[in-house]
């Protein structure tokens, strides 16, 4: 399996929506990374004929909700941030916006033949602004609500008379503290009786959805993102009741707009995703569903739940299959793959993940968790290990197919992805444990993972590498500057100077660094000690860097400054620059080039110290 093969043919599916017009989703092109609209037609999947080469929202820098299904077609957000409508018969398309704003979180309002959206204008903390808007097919735009810093995707009742949405204010992130809003929608489409509904405890509310006239949300005000029904008509605006659901997160951190992890079904039934030990599980429950039923246990994560004509649809991911579109009949609880789901890497031996626990030391939280992918070797000797810190850091590693992990396993490396403290999917307390302790707890948990795997005979202590993307690159660099466990490391568009990034990053994350490290005016020494650039002289192991020249999240100056500091300290870091890439490499050729250079780098530094001593003698 070559690096090109590891980056080719990996089609990602996302953004599933459905209506009487059909079932639509976004499907990535493995060569360019562009997203095309696909649909089910005549019981087969096919691309929707549009003149638009790439469908992608850029709201908040991470987008989401670039697709919304109407009864007669689909609304899309193009790469240049225009909202367009494509008729289902594929004979016509229409551009609805021409302004300089970015749009995302699309929701169809079929009774009024319009689409609701989050509109973002300006850049930077001072200039940026978001609004909740409605857009007619004539191009007429109405501002429904404004004044809050950030808006989540709205939801409507089936009769179109009620609306709900969430907002949050700087410096908060949407997984820390949000506010729920409701309003009546008038015949003319404007809002009246607008109310905000404070949470009974501090918490993050996400994904409001109506089941009939009943409003449900996922809220973690009691420790987990669980389903709650809201009495939004009460003068007290209080919470009515919790659903019968286990203490598990029923959603992940909302980095993108338009996520859907729960969906009402006929007969007061529900489809809900639960996260347990890092795995996503899909469950059907409700009065007409008797006992809860788990659906498709061979899949390990589920997204974009939606329903039409009483049938449930979802995007499902697996460790050994490509992304699949599932059609689920709630009455029989039977699921069928209607698109995708092909076996991953046919003709190659596939390594499946094995979950492991990292022993916790002196903490009250549940211990960190991870997934180990063993090398394809015949012996049982300790292996070369690549330890991966996921990005975010408020994100998670999921046990889903990743061809690049398979690339490493086929070359004799073990790969371990670690859900360190601060990861989502393990409850609010675990997720918020990283507050003001970034670069400390995550680094500690990565080191404990190494010790755990070395102690179990799964990793060679003399050949351990650490790498990460974005904030994971920061974790890797902090680990390399404080720990001698690692033979070498890699930063893929990673954070190197938080205080400089604080001045230059985009509006969405402008307050995130203060939460991760504390107020820099109150804790200047902490910021200094947790800045990899200022610790460059302490990085003794070899390091390789990859950076996109168009990155607006972790700006290119971050990598330039770190490489310069290491060179001044006498080290010789490798830097590979991709001018046409942004935050995360999308083009297949660039992904393959990065993988090949990283492989050659690890190979050069894979020889044991004892082997080097023998060769010198």
> Hunting for tokens 């393990």 — which residue is that?
426
Task: Give the model confidence (pLDDT) of 493-552 as tens digits.
Answer: 999 999 999 988 889 998 999 999 999 999 999 999 999 999 999 999 999 999 999 988
Task: Determine the Cα angle at 318 with ends 315 and 319, to 5°.
Answer: 155
Among residues 526, 525, 532, the alpha carbon closest in space to that of 563 is found at 532
> Hunting for tokens 């070369």 — which residue is that?
384
Among residues 599, 438, 473, 488, the alpha carbon closest in space to that of 547 is found at 473
Positive or negative torsion for Cα 216, 219, 222, 227: positive
pLDDT score of 553 more than 60: yes
3-state secondary structure of 396: coil
Which pLDDT belongs to residue 9?
Answer: 58
Task: Give the model confidence (pLDDT) of 324-376 as tens digits.
Answer: 999 999 989 999 999 999 998 887 789 999 999 998 766 677 889 999 999 99
- Structure tokens belonging to residue 526: 């902490």
Comparing 5 with 504, the larger pLDDT belongs to: 504
CA dihedral 586, 414, 488, 606 (to 10 degrees): -120
Q: How far is CA 271 from CA 20, 149, 281, 285, 452, in A?
A: 20, 31, 10, 7, 37
Mean pLDDT of 388-416: 96
Q: Is the preceding peptide bond at 318 cis, omega within 30 degrees of 0?
A: no
| DSSP string of 231-298, one letter each residue | -TTSTT--EEEE-S--SSBSS----STT--SEEEEGGGEEEEEEEETTEEEEEEESGGG-S-EEE-TT
The beta-strand segments (E) located in 364-474 are 369-373, 383-389, 413-419, 459-469
Confidence of residue 238 (pLDDT cuts 50, 70, 90): low
Confidence of residue 566 (pLDDT cuts 50, 70, 90): very high
Report the alpha-carbon distance of residue 281 to residue 596 in Å, rounded: 35
Beta bridge partners of 433: none
Lowest-pLDDT choice from 87-101, 312-326, 381-395, 600-614: 600-614
Q: Are 139 and 114 in contact (CB under 8 A)?
A: no
How many other CB atoms are there within 10 angstroms of residue 379's CB atom? 7
Report the alpha-carbon distance of residue 368 to residue 260 in Å, rounded: 26
Report the alpha-carbon distance of residue 127 to residue 611 in Å, rounded: 58
Comparing 10 with 497, the larger pLDDT belongs to: 497
Q: Are 468 and 474 in contact (CB under 8 A)?
A: yes
Report the alpha-carbon distance of residue 152 to residue 333 in Å, rounded: 31
Task: Determine the Cα angle at 577 with ends 574 and 581, to 5°.
Answer: 145
Which pLDDT belongs to residue 288?
Answer: 60
- Structure tokens belonging to residue 321: 């299959």
Domains contained in the chain, CATH given: 1-147 (2.120.10.30), 354-616 (3.40.50.1820)
Task: Determine the Cα angle at 259 with ends 254 and 260, to 5°.
Answer: 130
CA dihedral 154, 157, 160, 162 (to 10 degrees): -70
pLDDT score of 616 more than 60: no
Which pLDDT belongs to residue 608?
Answer: 55
Lowest-pLDDT choice from 72-76, 285-289, 448-452, 553-557: 285-289
> Hunting for tokens 């809900």 — which residue is that?
272
Which pLDDT belongs to residue 229?
Answer: 94
Length of the chain: 617
pLDDT score of 10 more than 80: no
How many other CB atoms are there within 10 angstroms of residue 227's CB atom? 22
Name residues whose C-beta falls within 8 Å of residue 62's C-beta, 6 or more positions apart in sequence: 255, 256, 508
3-state secondary structure of 61: helix
3-state secondary structure of 389: strand
Task: Give the model confidence (pLDDT) of 151-199 as tens digits.
Answer: 998 999 999 999 999 999 999 999 999 999 999 999 999 999 999 998 8
Report the alpha-carbon distance of residue 352 to residue 83 in Å, rounded: 40
Mean pLDDT of 121-147: 91
- Structure tokens belonging to residue 141: 């735009």
Among residues 135, 416, 335, 423, the alpha carbon closest in space to that of 325 is found at 335
Beta bridge partners of 315: 303, 325
pTM, entire model: 0.93
Confidence of residue 267 (pLDDT cuts 50, 70, 90): confident
């Amino acid at each position: 399996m070559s690096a090109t093969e590891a980056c080719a043919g990996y089609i990602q599916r996302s953004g599933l929506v459905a209506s009487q017009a059909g079932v639509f989703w976004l499907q990535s092109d493995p060569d360019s990374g562009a997203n095309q609209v696909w649909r089910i037609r005549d019981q087969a999947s096919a691309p929707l004929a549009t003149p638009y080469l790439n469908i992608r929202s850029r709201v908040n820098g991470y987008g989401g909700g670039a697709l919304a299904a109407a009864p007669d077609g689909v609304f899309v957000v193009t790469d240049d941030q225009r909202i367009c409508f494509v008729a289902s018969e594929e004979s016509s398309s229409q551009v609805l916006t021409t302004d300089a704003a970015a749009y995302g979180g699309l929701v169809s309002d079929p009774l009024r033949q319009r689409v609701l959206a989050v509109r973002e204008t300006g850049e930077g903390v001072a200039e940026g602004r978001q609004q909740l808007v409605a857009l007619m097919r004539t191009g007429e735009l109405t501002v429904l609500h404004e004044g809050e810093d950030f808006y989540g995707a709205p939801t409507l009742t089936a009769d179109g008379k009620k609306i709900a949405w969430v907002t949050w204010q700087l410096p908060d992130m949407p997984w820390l503290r949000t506010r729920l809003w409701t309003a009546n929608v008038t015949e003319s489409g404007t809002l009246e009786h607008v109310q905000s509904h404070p949470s009974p405890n501090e918490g993050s509310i996400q994904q409001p959805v109506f089941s009939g006239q009943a409003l449900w949300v996922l809220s973690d005000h009691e420790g987990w993102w669980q389903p709650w029904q809201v009495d939004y008509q009460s003068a007290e605006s209080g919470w009515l009741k919790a659903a019968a659901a286990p203490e598990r997160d029923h959603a992940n951190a909302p980095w993108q707009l338009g996520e859907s992890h729960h969906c009402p079904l006929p007969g007061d039934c529900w489809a809900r995703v639960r996260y347990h030990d890092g795995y996503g599980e899909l469950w059907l429950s409700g009065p007409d569903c008797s006992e809860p039923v788990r659906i498709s246990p061979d899949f390990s994560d589920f997204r974009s739940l939606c329903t039409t004509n009483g049938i449930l649809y979802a995007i499902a991911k697996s460790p050994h299959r490509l992304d699949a579109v599932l059609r689920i009949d709630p009455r029989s609880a039977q699921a069928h793959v209607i698109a995708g789901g092909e076996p991953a890497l046919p003709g190659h031996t596939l390594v499946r993940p094995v979950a492991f626990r990292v022993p916790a030391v002196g903490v009250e939280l549940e211990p960190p968790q991870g997934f180990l992918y063993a090398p394809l070797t015949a012996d049982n000797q300790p292996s070369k290990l690549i330890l991966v810190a996921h990005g975010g850091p408020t994100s998670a590693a999921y046990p889903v197919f990743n061809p690049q992990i398979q690339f490493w396993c086929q070359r004799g490396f073990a790969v371990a992805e670690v859900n360190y403290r601060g990861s989502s999917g393990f409850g609010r307390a675990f997720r918020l444990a990283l507050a003001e302790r970034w670069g400390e707890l995550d680094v500690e948990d990565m080191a404990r993972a190494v010790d755990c795997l070395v102690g179990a005979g799964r990793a060679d202590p003399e050949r351990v590498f650490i790498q990460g993307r974005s904030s994971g690159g920061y974790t890797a660099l902090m680990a390399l500057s404080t720990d001698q466990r690692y033979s070498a490391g890699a930063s893929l568009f990673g954070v190197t100077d938080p205080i400089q990034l604080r001045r230059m990053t985009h509006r969405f994350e402008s307050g995130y660094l203060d939460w991760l490290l504390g107020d820099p005016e109150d804790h200047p020494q902490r910021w200094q000690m947790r800045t990899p650039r200022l610790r460059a002289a302490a990085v003794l192991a070899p390091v390789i860097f990859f950076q996109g020249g168009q990155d607006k999240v972790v700006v290119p100056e971050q990598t330039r400054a770190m490489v310069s500091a290491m060179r001044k300290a006498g080290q010789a870091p490798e830097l590979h620059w991709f001018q046409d890439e942004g935050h995360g490499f999308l083009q297949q050729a660039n992904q393959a080039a990065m993988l090949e250079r990283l492989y050659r780098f690890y190979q050069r530094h894979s020889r044991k110290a004892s082997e080097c001593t023998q060769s010198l003698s």
